Structure 1
Amino acid sequence: MKAGGAIELGESKSTSSTPKIGGVNRGASILDFILRIIAFLGTLVSAIAMGTTRERLPFFTQFLQFRAEYDDLPTFTFFVVANSVVCAYLVFSLALSIFHIVRSNAKRSRIILIFFDTAMLALLTAGASAAAAIVYLAHKGNAKANWFAICQQFNSFCERISGSLIGSFVGVVVFILLILLSAAALSRR
């Protein structure tokens, strides 16, 4: 009994579980930060690998050459731009991710992140999927449309453009995980 006749009651169940939920949300926020760094690195490496891809092949003489560069195809240019935009967004979103580590119960900023993460997922998926279609044509060709497979001649070019897709699709998977993680953190409230 407290002074003044008030009876002191034990802790309610809702307050005893609050630290546990806060700890789970803090862990989710740290995982969010780590996943954003992984997605940043994947999109950065993809943009750099595709943006620096070029190969020249001599044809009879050194003066007559065939060349293959990423900017010969608008799809690859879109791929580089999409990965660069997503990479820049990830750098800026790291600040909100750090904010969520400090204040694990922030709700509005998580909703904003889910919105922008979804938009970036769409952009990254569009760029990676379009580039994957062109990479497939470069490797296999299409006899019905008279598109020849160029990878037998431009081997180094094809290896680099194929490799640059890996980082971008890693970014797509990470964005899906980020959206699910943010949604789970919001649903715990």
Structure 2
Amino acid sequence: MEFADVVRRRRMIRNYDQRPVDPAAVDRILTAALHAPSAGFSQGWAFLRLDTADDVDRFWSAATPPGQGDDEWSRGLRRAPVVIVPLSSKQAYLDRYAEPDKGWTDRDESRWPAPYWDIDTGMASLLMLLTVVDEALGACFFGIPPERVAAFREAFGVPGDYSPIGAITVGHPATDRRSPSLRRGRRSMDDVVHRGRWSA
């Protein structure tokens, strides 16, 4: 598939059928993530691959607030046979930039204009989302509720220096309803691109 087609076809899929996903395709999706840029080549990311029914069920049990998860949107997501959780490590970046070629030995977080550990892991996640399209599969990126992160960590033994930035379901798309948010329409180039200076 041409890259432009991959970009145009990328969208969040919220409903999956029951077909399994080829493990080799999951390997390719994760391999693509390793090509994301990272500040100082810190590569302060990790990816929890959940591709057995037991692991996927354990994820939903850990990540779902009590009394939730039985709506149409949740039921469609839960049919995905694969969940990938991208995690970022701030410590990996602070350690990398304390090395002699960077010299930020004080590890002062105020030196960072933005949390690049999360940004870089987000870029790795986007590469996975694009690779999913190239594999003729579907994916949805969504957040783990903050009050469920501790339960998620405990369920999967995630160390304290790694934080989930979200989760990605992967599977074969089933008939899906369009998100109501899409009624807002895509913003135009003129709305978002400011040439030379900010303009209204």
In the superposition, the TM-score normalised over structure 1's length comes to 0.26
Quick one: higher RCO (CA 8 Å, sep 6+), 1 or 2? Answer: 2
Find the structure with the greater CA-based Rg: 1
Which has the larger strand fraction?
2
